[in-house]
Amino acid sequence: MSGRLSGRWVVITGASSGIGAATAVRMAREGASVLLGARRVERLEHVASRCREAGASLAEGHYLDVANVSSVRAFFDWVRAVAPGVDVLVNNAGGAHGLDPLATAKDEDWEAMVQSNLLGLARVTRACLPLMSGRSAPIVINVGSVAGHTAYEGAAMYCAVKAGVEMITRALRLELVEQGVRVGCIAPGITETEFAMVRFKGDVARARKVYEGMRPLQAEDVAEAIVWMATRPPHVCVDEMILKSTDQAEVYRVVRRGPPSTPVNPGGTAR
């Protein structure tokens, strides 16, 4: 199948649902070969099959826990065995845990957020970079958040790790400019995925409130932007992109116009 990404090899983390899954399918539609990582391998297999139907040259999934060093190593051993190299890395795995003020926040929530959003992203990137060497105009796309730009109550650690994603992106951009590796970050605002369900540990009523009365971004909206970043000509690097619902002017300035337009999407993803 021909497409703007045909002949290109794409690795996506957190690909079992939400933004990761939508990005995989959207990249597949462009004819890419997609290699997907996530902990939920059954759901990953389902996404891989949707990618094959969408036109992927190849779509396969493999267990990946970005918080675990040996899992990252095993994942990239697999990538190395399957692919001649990697052209696009989408660092999507991550998410928020809890919305407690720092004074009462839980260690396990902090540790989970630092491990997945920050350390996981860094170790996945470190493992992937050797596979990008020698490819034509490779690109690393990090999924950050508007929370990396603006602090809000109850999200000190989440804001800190997402600001960290921005800083890793900028440092890496400088480190890789000589090699011609592009590095960019996309910072989405409220997106209707499993994000809120994960943050509130399965509390449907609290999760639903996040999207209540407004029209949030959908995973596909963010996926579309990621594919746009990945399909710029080789001399163009989108360093940063902030994408928000029209109803969200700022992290905490959201217009809620009426009853919920859509239910909480149980098939979405944490970010």
Chain residues in the site for ligand 8X3 (CB under 6 A): 145-147, 189-190, 195, 251, 271
**Which CB sits closer to ligand 8X3, 153 or 239?**
153
CB of 244: closest distance to ligand 8X3 in angstroms? 9
Cα–Cα distances (Å) from 132 to 7, 40, 118, in that order, read 14, 26, 21
3-state helix/strand/coil string of 1-62:
CCCCCCCCEEEEECCCCHHHHHHHHHHHHCCCEEEEEECCHHHHHHHHHHHHHHCCCEEEEE
The whole-angstrom separation of Cα 179 and Cα 168 is 17
Q: What is the DSSP letter of 216?
A: P
CB of 77: closest distance to ligand 8X3 in angstroms? 31
Beta bridge partners of residue 13, listed in sequence order: 37
158 given a catalytic annotation: yes
Residue type, 106: K
Q: Which of 63, 152, 158, 211 is catalytic?
A: 158
The whole-angstrom separation of Cα 134 and Cα 155 is 40
- Are β-strands 58-63 and 88-91 bridged in parallel, bridged antiparallel, or unpaired? unpaired
The whole-angstrom separation of Cα 44 and Cα 46 is 5
Task: For residue 249, give the H/E element and its range.
Answer: strand 248-250
CB of 146: closest distance to ligand 8X3 in angstroms? 5
CB of 38: closest distance to ligand 8X3 in angstroms? 18
CB of 271: closest distance to ligand 8X3 in angstroms? 6
- Are β-strands 217-218 and 240-243 bridged in parallel, bridged antiparallel, or unpaired? unpaired
**Which CB sits closer to ligand 8X3, 18 or 31?**
18
**Which CB sits closer to ligand 8X3, 93 or 146?**
146
Q: Is 191 helix (H, G, I), strand (E, B) or coil?
A: strand
Q: Is 236 helix (H, G, I), strand (E, B) or coil?
A: coil
Q: Which residue is nearest to ligand 8X3 (CB)?
A: 145
**Which CB sits closer to ligand 8X3, 135 or 149?**
149
Catalytic residues, by residue number, are 158
